[in-house]
């Protein structure tokens, strides 16, 4: 465990997003006094020159890469070119810029979708590159795998103390609730809320409801990021999750209960299920002394309150 200087400059790429904004909050709570954000409105990290100019001017001691093009099954499946190329550019440009700025500590955030579709469950870190990917998000996954290799390459060639972490499915304040591009949990919150407001008798959920998924509150991930910057220094990626999963049907029922929907849940089996099961083996991060603190029911309730305050009530003003 090497405690970071709380006056060190920390650059959070993607600071306006779900993950980046949570990391900024966590760093502040941990006592870091010089946190610099990099939002897409400030700098287009897909532009190599813009990325290098921004990062070298900031001269960060630490970089957290939470910048990415992200989306749910529908968005990934419909726009693989953008998910591949944008993420490859963002990652390569940020790593190159951080190296040029002399950044010794960097945390790259990937995704659990890097693992094979039929990986042994729970998924260990050494499952990487042992099988075929889930076709609906393979372009995004390949980009994230390239990011891991980028970190490992800078460690090997330049002895940088850079690391990679692979979060499971995330949710929380700041999430995307657009039904065309969101992930399953925020999409369900919006669907059930609008059905309740409209008095609908049914809500349709994509797929069979049988796939199993693991969900981690974004504030737990952010706390893990701060922890890993001080407690982890290895070229291998490390999983971040709860180690527990639920079926989509169970999740839908919990969302309905949270929102107050009392109608029928209908499953559209013509829609893709995606990977049958995806739960991470979190024994390695547990061995470093970290564990999540926010349960799914508690996190779902607080996320729904955030949705009401920032989408529903804000839109009514």
Binding-site residues for NADP(+): 14-20, 109-112, 144, 167-170, 183
Residue 54 phi, psi (nearest 5): -65, -50
Peptide bond into 122 cis (omega under 30): yes
List, in sequence order, every residue forming a beta bridge with 265; answer none if it has no partner: 203
Q: What is the DSSP letter of 134?
A: P
How many residues are present in the chain? 317
Q: Which residues are annotated as a binding site for substrate?
A: 191, 206, 213, 273
Which residues belong to the active site?
A: 140
**Of the candidates 30, 21, 33, the residue with the CA atom closest to the CA atom of residue 64:** 21
β-bridge partners, 266:
204
Angle, CA of 44, 220 and 255, to the nearest 5°: 95
Going by C-alpha positions, the residue among 154, 160, 41 that lies closest to residue 91 is 154
Measured CA to CA, the distance from residue 219 to residue 241 in angstroms comes to 12
What are the binding residues? Answer: 14-20, 109-112, 144, 167-170, 183, 191, 206, 213, 273
């Amino acid at each position: 465990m090497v405690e970071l200087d709380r006056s060190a400059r920390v650059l959070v790429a993607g600071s306006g997003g779900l993950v980046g904004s949570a990391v900024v909050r966590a760093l502040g709570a941990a006592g870091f006094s010089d946190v610099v954000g990099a939002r897409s409105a400030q700098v287009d990290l897909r532009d190599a020159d813009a990325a290098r100019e921004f990062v070298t001017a900031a001269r960060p001691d630490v970089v957290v890469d939470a910048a990415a093009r992200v989306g749910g099954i529908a968005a990934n499946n419909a726009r693989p070119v953008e998910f591949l190329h944008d993420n490859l550019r963002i990652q390569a440009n940020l790593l190159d810029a951080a190296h040029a700025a002399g950044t010794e500590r960097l945390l790259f955030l990937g995704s659990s979708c890097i693992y094979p579709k039929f990986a042994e469950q729970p998924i260990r870190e050494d499952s990487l590159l042992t099988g075929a990917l889930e076709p609906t998000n393979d372009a995004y996954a390949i980009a994230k795998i390239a990011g891991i290799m980028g970190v490992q390459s800078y460690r090997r060639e330049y002895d940088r103390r850079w690391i990679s972490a692979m979060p499971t499915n995330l949710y929380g304040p700041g999430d995307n609730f657009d039904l065309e591009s969101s992930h399953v949990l925020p999409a369900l919150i919006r669907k059930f809320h609008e059905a309740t407001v409209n008095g609908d008798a049914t809500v349709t959920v994509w797929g069979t409801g049988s796939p199993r998924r693991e969900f981690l509150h974004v504030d737990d991930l952010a706390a893990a990021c701060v922890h890993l910057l001080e407690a982890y220094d290895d070229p291998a990626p490390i999983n971040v999750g709860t180690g527990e999963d639920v079926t989509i049907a169970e999740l839908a029922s919990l969302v309905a209960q949270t929102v107050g929907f009392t109608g029928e849940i209908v499953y559209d089996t013509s829609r893709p299920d995606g990977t049958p099961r995806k739960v991470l083996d979190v024994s390695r991060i547990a061995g470093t002394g970290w564990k999540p603190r926010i349960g799914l029911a508690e996190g779902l309730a607080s996320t729904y309150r955030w949705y009401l305050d920032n989408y529903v009530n804000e839109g009514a003003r």
